[in-house]
Structure 1
Amino acid sequence: MRVGGIRITLTAIIGTLIILACVGGAILAPWVAPHDPNLPMGGRWDPPSPEHWLGLDQIGRDMFSRILYGGRISIGLAMLATILAFVVGVVTGLAAAIFGGWIDMLFSRVADVVLSIPNLMWALIILSGFGTGATIIVLTIGSLYSVYVFRVARSVAMNVVVLEYVEAARLRGEGLMWVILREILPNALPPLAAEFGLRFCFAFLFVAALSFLGLGVQPPDADWGSMVKESALAIPAGIAAPLYPAAAIALLTIGVNMVVDWLLSMYSRPQGENA
């Protein structure tokens, strides 16, 4: 399929539809959820029925409604953390590539220090000391992942700043912000867009992992990670309740990766090739 001369693959279309379905369900949860997500509606682990499409959870709450509302928290926290990571990472990466010297050395050594310790250990230390509120979760994940964005932005920008058209813009007397916004960022956008999708996936899975460990979203609010944890006791009994939020996590991750793969293929394709 072609749109405006750009070839869009079937997997990219499927991935986009998955993303739209998950994000749309999360945004429209107050209007499309059939029940209050925190109100017990029946017995423990009641099976699916026409009234409760996915059955009830461990205290009788509607699973379908909780998945819709949980998506608001899971996707929302991951998106905010990813945006924070990109604001910090892109700004510092461009600064390191453009100015070099001690600025590049400082940012690079800070990145090395952060990368020397696993992200989960950093998160456990920070959340244990400062609490598990949504703001702390976003700041923690955003700060940790900004290091990865910094490395990508720095690498891409260093390849662009030495090109002839950037030097020509500087020789014409163009200001620094003009060069960054008109010459460097547009040419760095494709790899950064692909990195945004990948980083969102990692942040999304990180939020779910923290909630599963009890350091993420706290009851009575729900996200998909905490719902898997709460429903884990149903697995030995052969009840499918924990599979629904786990499937939602997997589905959104697969959808985003489908779109990212398409973006990467577009970026790596030789100029002028539209096949």
Structure 2
Amino acid sequence: MTFIQLGVIKTGARKFSSAPLPAKFGMVVIALYVLAAIFAPQLAPYGEAEIVGTQFEPWSSTFWLGTDNLGRDMFTRLIYGARNTIGIALLTTALAFSIGSTAGLAAATFSGWTDQLLSRAVDVLMSIPQLIFALLLLSIFGTSIPSLIIIIAVLDSTRVFRLTRAVSINAAVSDYVEAARLRGEGPIWIMGREIMPNILPTLTAEFGLRFCFVFLLISGLSFLGVGIQPPTADWGSMVRDTATLIAYGDITPLLPALAIALLAVSVNLIVDWFLHSASGLRD
């Protein structure tokens, strides 16, 4: 192990030990989710789409959480759902931030017609409810995973644009940015070296929040049947597939819903702690 790796581990351990209890809980939960996503093939007793029993079998030593409407093992599907749902949501959020933050920085730096054109285009996209717009576009372009990622990323980038533009405008009129302009620095240099480092904590916190919104939106679309398509395991579609069990007092449909809620809460706990730490406030 190199000194750099050792230093990263020590820094991470210090951060974890200094974090409040809610943030530690969020970190532990997210770490478990990540491990489940990475090692899904090793942890799952069956294949992701393998039919191993009859439909809606009860919990047993063979099927720990029973089976779904097709006879697939629910525990296996729950583990693979972490890989698919979280992975797609993370990729979508990263793409949305790439689009939205770049456009927001450009609007604040160049201002004028660039700002007006980008802002009005974003206003048009935001004037339509996001879920309805997503359903419309997915019905036109199809429900493949690439289409799902691109459509949701473009729609969600409008929120990132608004925040990035707002915080970037405040930074763009600062003395250090004016000094950089007087030195003859170009707009790309100013965006990357002057404005971006000063708005990074805000964008980092927003990334966590936007991930939750994207994650919940994808799960909602899957529940409606236009999100992640079978046989790919997804927590939203798992709730839909086993929803009939609610009428019989079976809590199996609540398990993927609980997994969704627990992840959203954990991310928010970490974001709250990060914002508190970045603000410089002390308890």
- Between the aligned partners of 1:4 and 1:164, the Cα distance in structure 2 is 33
**Partner of residue 262, structure 2:** 251
Partner of residue 45 from structure 2, selected from 16, 30, 34? 34
Partner of residue 193 from structure 1, selected from 201, 204, 220? 204
- Between the aligned partners of 1:48 and 1:159, the Cα distance in structure 2 is 57
Instruction: Say which is worse superposed, 31-40 or 117-126, in terms of deviation.
Output: 31-40
**Partner of residue 73, structure 2:** 62
Report the AA paired with residue 36 of structure 2.
G
**Partner of residue 109, structure 1:** 120
- Between the aligned partners of 1:61 and 1:23, the Cα distance in structure 2 is 23
**Partner of residue 215, structure 1:** 226
- Between the aligned partners of 1:268 and 1:113, the Cα distance in structure 2 is 33
TM-score by length of 2: 0.91
Contact 1:6 1:274 in 2 (8 A): no
**How do 1:67-146 residues align onto structure 2 when only pairs under 5 Å count?**
67-146=78-157
Partner of residue 261 from structure 1, selected from 249, 252, 272? 272
Contact 2:109 2:187 in 1 (8 A): no
Report the AA paired with residue 188 of structure 2.
M
Offset, 1:8:
2.0
- Between the aligned partners of 2:53 and 2:273, the Cα distance in structure 1 is 45
Contact 1:74 1:204 in 2 (8 A): yes
Offset, 1:177:
3.0
Unpaired segments of 5 or more residues in structure 2? 1-11
**How do 1:143-158 residues align onto structure 2 when only pairs under 5 Å count?**
143-158=154-169
After superposition, give the CA deviation of every residue in 1:49-96 in whole Å (9 maximum; x if it has no partner). 233221222222111110111122111111111111100101100000
Higher helix fraction: Structure 1 or Structure 2? 2
- Between the aligned partners of 1:172 and 1:266, the Cα distance in structure 2 is 34
Between the aligned residues of both structures, percent identity stands at 50
Offset, 1:266:
2.3
- Between the aligned partners of 1:192 and 1:146, the Cα distance in structure 2 is 12
- Between the aligned partners of 2:22 and 2:167, the Cα distance in structure 1 is 27
- Give aligned pairs, total: 272
Secondary structure of 2:242's aligned partner: helix
Report the AA paired with residue 257 of structure 2.
A
Contact 2:90 2:211 in 1 (8 A): yes
Contact 1:73 1:222 in 2 (8 A): yes
C-alpha RMSD over aligned residues: 1.9
- Between the aligned partners of 1:5 and 1:182, the Cα distance in structure 2 is 29
Contact 2:110 2:187 in 1 (8 A): no
TM-score by length of 1: 0.93
1:159 aligns with 2:159: no
Offset, 1:267:
3.2
Instruction: Say which is worse superposed, 229-238 or 176-185, in terms of deviation.
Output: 176-185
